[in-house]
Amino acid sequence: MHVPDGFIDAPTSAVTGVVAAAAVAVSLRGARRELDERTAPLAGLVAAFIFAVQMLNFPVAAGTSGHLLGGALAAILVGPYTGVLCISVVLLMQGILFADGGLTALGVNITVMGCVTTIVAYGIFRGLVKLLPRTRRSVTAASFVAALVSVPAAAAAFTVLYAIGGTTDVSIGKVATAMVGVHTLIGIGEAAITALTVGSVIAVRPDLVYGARDLRQRLQLRVNGELVDAPAPEVAVAARTSHRKVWIGGLIASLVLAGFVSFYASADPDGLEKVAADKGMDQKVEEHDTADSPLADYGVKDVENARLSGGLAGVIGVSATVVAGTGVFWAVRRRRTTEDTASSGPVSTSV
């Protein structure tokens, strides 16, 4: 759902740019509360993983494909504020390096793909987790539903923006029906990917999943003939698998997906591209400012072998995203540590 330059007029793009900038600023502050020594490295990896999986377009209907948006996955794994930052890093890397998503439309893309998906998904997720039994399966099921709803919600948000500042005269009702309809199908794929990923991480390191931090397995002890709940040890699972192994495993998976599996992704246009072509929304699309980039369109310039070109571009993209993301999140984490130290003040002692 990467919006290109020329879809939305300049005033609307400028306003959404301000909205996106404000959202990122708020998220930077909020992420200081979410990030700790466990989640700071994971956040950069989550951004890289989302970048990799977004390269894997899957067919959803005749002549149409879809790909992960990632807002729900990021919010559940590392928190909603950090999730917005993850998607923003991904979109920035895609726009600058790969000419994917217009630079003047960056505010639109962050607002729609980052803010809307994250806010909607995490709100639904938290509501379901409170209602469902406190089990790992409940977290996975809530992840599925939250991700499913977040995609058509993003499509609806784009339609609203297009109704305000679209550059072509088309029937908004038809656009809304087509966008929400096809993105509901895409949402099923998003939900499956999100639930599978969250479930896999919970099975190995539940303490690393932000959305499962309230999850506690209760032990029951018999005291004087009565069963009494007792908290289960929190370190049992964490002790079996080191943080470093999880991070390395996730990075290897991201590199394999982007560098090899992406070659087999669907070549059909994604939901937005298909609707735009069918409804005439793409009449004023502008050429991307970095269309001549050596990595434009997810291929390495002057590398003739398509498999090798795409694979190298994917590996470069994952590497650049994990470096950029980890740098941002470590800086945020360090800022929090500095502020905590400053707020604690000097410790005075007396004899």
Confidence tier at 19 by pLDDT (50, 70, 90): very high
Q: Taking the CA atoms of 316, 322, 325 and 331 in sequence, report the sign of the dihedral they define.
A: negative
Confidence tier at 237 by pLDDT (50, 70, 90): very low
Mean of pLDDT values over 123-129? 96
CA angle 172, 3, 100 (to 5 degrees): 160
Mean of pLDDT values over 212-221? 62
For residue 245, give the 3-state DSSP assignment. helix
CA angle 111, 75, 324 (to 5 degrees): 75
Confidence tier at 240 by pLDDT (50, 70, 90): very low
Q: Looking at the domain 10-344, which fold is it?
A: Arp2/3 complex 21 kDa subunit ARPC3 (1.10.1760)
Of all residues in the chain, the percent with pLDDT exceeding 70 is: 87
As given in the structure block, the two tokens for residue 335 are 């800022």
Note the pLDDT tens digit of each residue in 171-181: 999 999 999 99
41: which residues sit within 8 A by CB, 6+ positions away?
243, 247, 326, 329, 330
Confidence tier at 345 by pLDDT (50, 70, 90): low
d(CA 241, CA 204): 7
Note the pLDDT tens digit of each residue in 37-73: 777 778 999 999 999 999 999 999 889 999 999 999 9
As given in the structure block, the two tokens for residue 55 are 């390269």
* pLDDT at 350 (0 to 100): 46
As given in the structure block, the two tokens for residue 333 are 């984490």
H/E/C letters for each residue in 36-100?
Answer: CCCHHHHHHHHHHHHHHHHCCCEEEECCEEECCCCHHHHHHHHCHHHHHHHHHHHHHHHHHHHCC
**Entry pTM:** 0.89
Of all residues in the chain, the percent with pLDDT exceeding 90 is: 74
What are the C-alpha distances in Å from 296 to residues 51, 257, 293, 331?
15, 19, 5, 29
* pLDDT at 303 (0 to 100): 93
Average pLDDT score, the chain: 89
Asked whether 289 and 5 are in contact (CB, 8 A), the reply is yes
- Burial bucket for residue 181 (CB in 10 Å: 0-12, 13-18, 19+): middle
Residue 346 has pLDDT above 70, yes or no: no
Confidence tier at 223 by pLDDT (50, 70, 90): low
Asked whether 277 and 265 are in contact (CB, 8 A), the reply is no
Note the pLDDT tens digit of each residue in 72-114: 999 999 999 999 999 999 999 999 999 999 999 999 999 999 9
Mean of pLDDT values over 216-236? 52
* pLDDT at 1 (0 to 100): 87
CA angle 342, 211, 142 (to 5 degrees): 160
d(CA 27, CA 81): 4
Residue with tokens 């998220």: 27
**In the chain, what are the domain boundaries?**
10-344
Asked whether 19 and 88 are in contact (CB, 8 A), the reply is no
- Burial bucket for residue 46 (CB in 10 Å: 0-12, 13-18, 19+): buried
Helix axes 80-98, 117-131, angle to 10 degrees: 150
* pLDDT at 221 (0 to 100): 53
Note the pLDDT tens digit of each residue in 304-344: 999 999 999 999 999 999 999 999 998 898 876 666 566 65
CA angle 189, 57, 284 (to 5 degrees): 115
